[in-house]
Amino acid sequence: MFRPSLVIATLVAACSFAQAQQRPYEGLQQRSIKALSDQDQADLRAGRGMGFALAAELNGYPGPAHVLELADKLALIAEQTAKVQTLFDRMKAEAIPVGESLVKLEADLDRQFALKMATERSVADATAAIGTTQGALRNVHLKFHLLTVEVLTPEQVQRYSELRGYSDTGQSMPHHRMHPR
């Protein structure tokens, strides 16, 4: 049976989808820094990971923030909790200034374009500095995943993976250098 209302609804949905595809950045021009949302800026300034350590996280190297969140479920002993807290504090102390630098560099690049002063050379220099800073920030987060796994037992690492939802029986977990210190 032909239903005109269904055809109209389908056409409206298709047009809305097409329009959204043509305007994927609509509204982003209002951001203070076009390449970073307010949440991105807050996360960088707070030293949060923002996915920079996924290579470690998803391959069996827990990060200190999530280990602390799951401390009870991981049955951490007091010594482990203290060590992971120290790692977390050190990570934040290193990540926050690098994140602040990244926000500043992105603001500077944005300003070049906003003021119509961007040149090939200035953009090359700015993006190189941004890339270096992003790499430094990623290194900070990855380093602390490496250090955190050393504090945990293999069983705790496996439990962490299960609790975080990425346990896979075929996934190999790091077994070297994992022990409570």
* Residue 34: both structure tokens together: 């076009």
The confidence score (pLDDT) of residue 19 equals: 56
Give backbone dihedrals phi and psi of 23, rounded to 5 degrees, phi first: -130, 55
**Sequence-ordered alpha helix ranges (H) in the chain:** 4-22, 38-46, 54-57, 64-69, 78-114, 120-149, 154-164
Global confidence as pTM? 0.80
The confidence score (pLDDT) of residue 23 equals: 87
The confidence score (pLDDT) of residue 29 equals: 87
134-143 tens-digit pLDDT: 999 999 999 9
Give the residue-averaged pLDDT of 73-94. Answer: 98
The confidence score (pLDDT) of residue 56 equals: 97
